[in-house]
Structure 1
Amino acid sequence: MTAVRPYRGVSAEDRRAQRREKVKSACLDVVGDNGVTDLTVEAVSARAGLTKRYFYEGFADLDALLAEVIDDIFTELLAEILAALDATDPTVAHRAHTIVSLLIDFFQRDVRRARLYVEAPGQPTLRARRDVAFDLYTRLLVEHLHADSTPRRSEPWPPTTVPDRRRALAALIVVAGVTEAMTAWLRGAVELDRHEIVDEITRVMIAALE
């Protein structure tokens, strides 16, 4: 085999990883500016400053790229939620407020991620990934937001016990409702400030799950 020499001290593997991250960042840039419907291989490659050859070096197609980008978002969000739950007061009210605050701030601080999330239902690949996330976050609420629960560092799914069916349904309704309320607020369709939207979602969440 022909040895691939480092270029300016960077190995071929590291260069591929850097290009992959540039493509993912460019994907978010294009979505943030123009939405998911205008996403093309050409637009992403141009924004990344790479040729289409390097796009296909890392991703089979746009669906593969979108799937990885939104999976990265959900993975990062989950890690932040679990870390925050570890550090917060163990009462239901504090845990619920922590989750809602973090969720709002997570998407508010990066409008690119927010737009991708808001437009996910209109794109089959993103919608399927969001449906999986709905199930995961439903399980998280079932495990963490009731009186005898204790925040844990480990993954909250699958639960160690079978959740109460009514509580699971309530959690699913909460997750779906919070998503719609949050996306409407991010679009500017809800006339509440950040503290008001967090407090109202928290109040509804606690009432539904208790």
Structure 2
Amino acid sequence: MTGVVRPYRGVAAETRREQRRKDLIDACLDLVDESGVGAVTAEAISARAGLSKRYFYESFRDRDAILIAAIDSVLGPMGTELRQELARCGSTDERVERVARVLVRTFTADRRVAALYTSAPGNSALAARRREMIDEFTPTLVRDVLRADPDDPRALATTLLMVAGTTEVLDRWLRGDLALDEAEFIRTLTALGRRLAAP
């Protein structure tokens, strides 16, 4: 006989589970920002979130799983915002600028997110997720920025160069290697993207 899961203090079990998951991801981001990816363990995250470790394993298989969930919690909304913004744009130049603006704003709105993003090369799971991100965004950008066929090899090559190059340049800028303020960096990304996107 299956037991009935009753609300606790008026809050449904699924709602409590989702809140615990969110609290664990927030704790993970805090730890990455303060001490780096090496500080991320199930024990440390659970303690930071004020939860028993069993709740960690209720939502995540291991530390790599929560790191990926943390970066996806940012990339998912960013993808949605990009699609909405691009739908309002006319020219290719305008679409390139809008992509640069959304991208930079995503990673500067929360310094914990920037810390996680720049940690990717040192963690195999995060590095793999960043590569997957390039593969996922590329066809969308071919269609919505260049307004080209994703099967067109020239358009695909151009967009791959734009996405992979932007990924690396963004990483360097977030690390402080490029002495540009946010507005200058957006203008630089936009100018480079427009050159690549030119017929």
Q: TM-score range by the shorter chain?
A: over 0.9
- Which residue does the alignment assign to 1:198? 186
- Which residue does the alignment assign to 1:143? 143
Which residue identity does 2:65 align to in structure 1?
A
Instruction: Report the CA distance between 1:85 and its aligned residue.
Output: 1.2
Which residue identity does 1:16 align to in structure 2?
R
Q: SS where residue 161 of structure 2 aligns?
A: helix
TM-score (norm 1): 0.88
Which residue identity does 1:183 align to in structure 2?
D
How many Å separate the matches in 2 of 1:17 and 1:136?
A: 26
Structure 1 stretches of 5 or more lacking a match?
Answer: 150-158
Once superposed, what is the RMSD of the aligned Cα atoms?
A: 1.6
- Which residue does the alignment assign to 1:58? 59
Q: What CA deviation, in whole Å up to 9, does each residue of 1:15-46 have, x standing for no partner?
A: 11211111111111111111112211111011
How many Å separate the matches in 2 of 1:58 and 1:37?
A: 20
TM-score (norm 2): 0.92
1:68-79 matches, within 5 Å, as: 68-79=69-80
How many Å separate the matches in 2 of 1:7 and 1:49?
A: 18
- Which residue does the alignment assign to 2:102? 102
How many Å separate the matches in 2 of 1:141 and 1:13?
A: 36
How many Å separate the matches in 2 of 1:128 and 1:21?
A: 23
Count, aligned residues: 197
- Assess if the C-alpha contact under 8 Å between 2:86 and 2:145 holds in 1: no
How many Å separate the matches in 1 of 2:3 and 2:138?
A: 50
- Which residue does the alignment assign to 2:173? 185
- Which residue does the alignment assign to 2:91? 91
- Which residue does the alignment assign to 1:2? 3
Q: SS where residue 119 of structure 1 aligns?
A: helix
- Which residue does the alignment assign to 1:82? 83
- Which residue does the alignment assign to 1:154? none
How many Å separate the matches in 2 of 1:13 and 1:136?
A: 30
Q: SS where residue 191 of structure 1 aligns?
A: coil
Which residue identity does 2:159 align to in structure 1?
A
| Bigger mean CA offset, 107-116 vs 8-17 | 8-17
Runs of 4 or more, structure 1, over 3 Å off, are none
Instruction: Report the CA distance between 1:144 and its aligned residue.
Output: 2.1
Which residue identity does 1:206 align to in structure 2?
R
- Which residue does the alignment assign to 1:152? none
How many Å separate the matches in 1 of 2:139 and 2:151?
A: 8
How many Å separate the matches in 1 of 2:132 and 2:64?
A: 16
Which residue identity does 1:164 align to in structure 2?
D
Q: What CA deviation, in whole Å up to 9, does each residue of 1:154-177 have, x standing for no partner?
A: xxxxx8x44321221121111111
Q: What CA deviation, in whole Å up to 9, does each residue of 1:165-197 have, x standing for no partner?
A: 122112111111111211211222211121211
Which residue identity does 1:180 align to in structure 2?
E
Structure 2 stretches of 5 or more lacking a match?
Answer: none
- Assess if the C-alpha contact under 8 Å between 2:150 and 2:156 holds in 1: no
How many Å separate the matches in 1 of 2:51 and 2:121?
A: 29
- Which residue does the alignment assign to 1:153? none
Which residue identity does 1:21 align to in structure 2?
K
The reply to whether residue 165 of structure 1 matches residue 166 of structure 2 is no
1:98-137 matches, within 5 Å, as: 98-137=98-137
